[in-house]
Structure 1
Amino acid sequence: MWISREIWQSRLRWNNMWEKQQGQICPEVLYEEGKDGVTILGCKSVDGILILPDEICGRAVTSVKAYAFSSWQAGKDSRIWRNPQNWKEEGVHPVFGEEVREVWLPASVSHLGRYAFYRCKNLKKLTLSDRLQEVGGGVFTGCAPEKIEIYHWEGEKNCLKSIVDEVRFSIDATLVYDTKEVQGRARVLFPEHYEEAVENTPARLLFTRHHGSGGYYRQCFYDRTLDYGKYDLAFFHAKAEEERKTTVKLAVNRLRFPFRLGEEAKKMYTVFVKEKFEQGIQMMLERADIDGIRFLIREIQPGEEALAAAVRLAGDYRLPEAAGYLLEEKRKQTKGSRLQERFSL
C-alpha cells in the first residue's frame, strides 16, 4: 500500500520518541525503488547497531527485502544512498549476519521479507512501528531477539503475535501507544517455551509435551491485538512453571507500566512482588535501574527488614546512589516507627 511522505511525517510528530538523529542513521544503505516506495536491500555501517532512514530521496521506505540482513545483496538494479551527515569511508563496511546486534526499522515499513534476519544470531533488539502487521516466514531463523519495541500510531494492532510465534525464546516487548484514542506504554514478557514429541511405546501413541508457560502467553492475542486481560490471567501458569526471576520480572513490568491493568490483576501482582521484594530489588540493581528501585519502594512499601536487606544488596552491587536512597528510606521508616512508639507511650 502506498503511503505519502506527509502521512508518515505526521505520525512521527505524534510521538517524538521515534525521532532519529541524522548522525545516528547508517552511513550507507543499499536500496531499490518501486511504485509503492523504497525497499531496503542491506546497509553499511561501522558496527552492528543499524538505524535505518525513514525516507530515501524524498520517498518513504516501505519494505525490507528477503535475506536483507543475512547477506550482502548488491545487484544491477540496486542503488546506494549515503547519509550526508554520517558518511565516511574509513571503517564503513557491509553489516549482516552475526555482526548485526540492533535494528531500528523505518516508520513506514509494512513488509518484512522472508528470512530477513536469517542467521543474525547476535540480534538483541528490534524497533518498529504498527505499520508492520505481519512478518515473512522464517524471519528470525537462526536468531533470538531479546527485546522488541513497537510504536503505535494507527491503533493497537501490530505484528507481535507473528514475532513471538516465530521465536520460542523469551522476549521482552515494549509497546508504545500514541493514537488519537489511546496513549500509554506497556512492557510485557513472553517466557520461553518449546514442544517435545514423546512416544508411548506400549500404546503406540505419540503425544506432544509442552514446556514453559510461554505457550499460554502466546495465545493472548485476538486479531493482532494483545488481550491484556487474558495476558494477566496467564500469570497463574507462569508461577507454576517458570523460575522465580522470570515471574518477578513479569509482575514488576506490569505494575510499572500498567497499561490496561485491571484492579484484580494489580492486586495479584502487588501481593506477589511484595512476597518476592528482595528478588525485585536485585533485578533492578543488576540493571542499575534507580528509577525502578524508587518505583518498587513507592509501590510495595516494604518493612524495615526488607529495606535493610535491600541496602546490603546495593552495597554488594557497589551502587552508592541506590544504597544512599535505600538508607534514606530506611531512616524515614525507622524514625516513623519511633514516633509511633512514643505516641503509644
Structure 2
Amino acid sequence: MEYQIYYEEKQDHTLIILKMIGQSPVVYIPSMIEGKKVTEIGAYCFSKTEIQKNWKHTKAVENGTILSLNYIEEVYCPDSITSIQACAFYNCRKLKAIHIHEIQVLSHDVFMNCLSLHDIYSFSIDSMKPMLSQISWNITVHTSSFSIFFPEYYEVYNEIGPAHIFGIEIQGEGYRMRQCFKNNLFLFEEYDACFDKLKKEEKKEVACFVAYMRLLFPEKIHGIKEYEDFIIENQDICLSWIDASSFDRFKDYFNQDSILSLMDTKKEDIELITKCIAYNRMRFKKNRYNFEDL
C-alpha cells in the first residue's frame, strides 16, 4: 500500500503523522518513515485540516485521496504508535474499526462523532479505559483470545437551580461497565456484576447481546448461570447472532422451536443447517429429518 505522508519530526527524532494521502479507505499507518520511528498521530490528522506548505512529506502517489472524514473505514496502527493527539479522528463518520496497541497518551475528543466505530482490536483489554471513556456508544473490544461488549450510555443535562445551572445525569449501565479497571487491569468480576442491573433497566436486546458475548468468550467469567438463564429466557432474540461457529456453544440453551427457527431463517448457511438437523434428531428424538422438510 502506497501513501503520501505528511509528518513532523520531534526532538527525540521520532515522527508525528500529520496527514495521509492514499488509495483505499482501509489505512495502514507505517511504523517507520525514512528510517525514523512513527510514534504519534497528530491533532486532526484524519479530520478536516489544511495541508501546510512547510510540512515534510514522502513522495506523492497517483490518484490519491486525502484519508479523512467520510472516506476512511478502518485504520491499522503499528505498535510504535503510543500517542494520539486531540480530535485525530474527529468526524470520521464511516470509521468502523481501529486496530491499536498500547496507547500511553490519549488526548481529548479523539473519536468525537465517529458513531460508526463499533470495533476496537487490541492486544489487551487492560489498556482500554482511556479509549472507552471517549466512546459512549456501543463498542466491542477484541483481543487475541476474547471479545467483550460495552453497551452505550447517555449523558442527560438536568436543570438543578436558577440561572440555568445544570447537572449531568448518566443513564445506562454501559458507563459503569467502562469503569471496571484498577491499576491498569480490567476487572471481569466487576463487569459481570453489572449484569443484574443492566438486564432490569436496558432493552432486552442489549442485555441479551452482553450475555451472548460473555458466554461466547467466557474469559474469567463470574455468575455464568445468570447469563445462561437470561439466554434461555430470551433465546428468540439471540438466534440472529448464531452461526455455524457459535452453534455448539449455545445449542443446549435452545428448545426445539428455536432450532427449527434457525433452520428456517438461515437456510443459506449449510454448515449450520447440518448441525441443526443432527442436533434436532439427537436431542428431540426425531427419527427422520431431511432437507425436504425445510
Please say if 1:139 is aligned against 2:110: yes
2:140, 2:149 within 8 Å by CA — same for their partners in 1?
Answer: yes
Query: 2:235 corresponds to which residue?
Result: 277
Query: 1:56 corresponds to which residue?
Result: 33
Choose from 155, 175, 200 the match for 2:143.
Answer: 175
Please say if 1:46 is aligned against 2:26: no
TM-score, length basis structure 2? 0.85
Task: Give how far 1:148 is off.
Answer: 0.9
Matches within 5 A, 1:255-266: 255-262=215-222, 265-266=223-224
Query: 1:334 corresponds to which residue?
Result: 284
The structure-2 alpha-carbon separation of the partners of 1:247 and 1:167, relative to structure 1 and needing over 3 Å to count, comes to same
Structure 1 alignment gaps of length 5 or more? 1-24, 83-87, 177-184, 339-345
Tell me the number of residue pairs that the alignment of Structure 1 and Structure 2 aligns.
Answer: 283
In 2: Cα distance, 1:205 partner to 1:78 partner: 48
Choose from 191, 194, 209 the match for 1:249.
Answer: 209
Query: 2:4 corresponds to which residue?
Result: 28
- Which amino acid is the alignment partner of residue 46 of structure 1? Q
SS of match in other structure, 1:97: coil
Matches within 5 A, 1:74-223: 74-80=52-58, 89=62, 91-130=63-102, 132-144=103-115, 145-152=117-124, 157-158=126-127, 160-176=128-144, 185-199=145-159, 207-223=167-183
Deviations 1:78-105 (A, max 9, x none): 12167xxxxx62x322211121211111
In 1: Cα distance, 2:52 partner to 2:244 partner: 46
1:31, 1:81 within 8 Å by CA — same for their partners in 2?
Answer: no
In 2: Cα distance, 1:122 partner to 1:313 partner: 29
Task: Give how far 1:107 is off.
Answer: 1.0
In 1: Cα distance, 2:161 partner to 2:38 partner: 55
Task: Give how far 1:232 is off.
Answer: 0.6
Choose from 182, 191, 203 the match for 1:231.
Answer: 191
Deviations 1:33-61 (A, max 9, x none): 33252221121222321111222233332
Matches within 5 A, 1:285-296: 289-296=243-250
Task: Give how far 1:333 is off.
Answer: 2.1
Structure 2 alignment gaps of length 5 or more? 288-294
Q: Which runs of 4+ in 1 moved over 6 A?
A: none
Larger helix fraction of residues: 1
Query: 1:313 corresponds to which residue?
Result: 265
In 2: Cα distance, 1:238 partner to 1:110 partner: 34
Amino-acid identity (%) = 23
Deviations 1:93-142 (A, max 9, x none): 22111212111112111110111011112211111002x13311111122
- Which amino acid is the alignment partner of residue 250 of structure 2? L
- Which amino acid is the alignment partner of residue 333 of structure 1? R
1:31, 1:40 within 8 Å by CA — same for their partners in 2?
Answer: yes
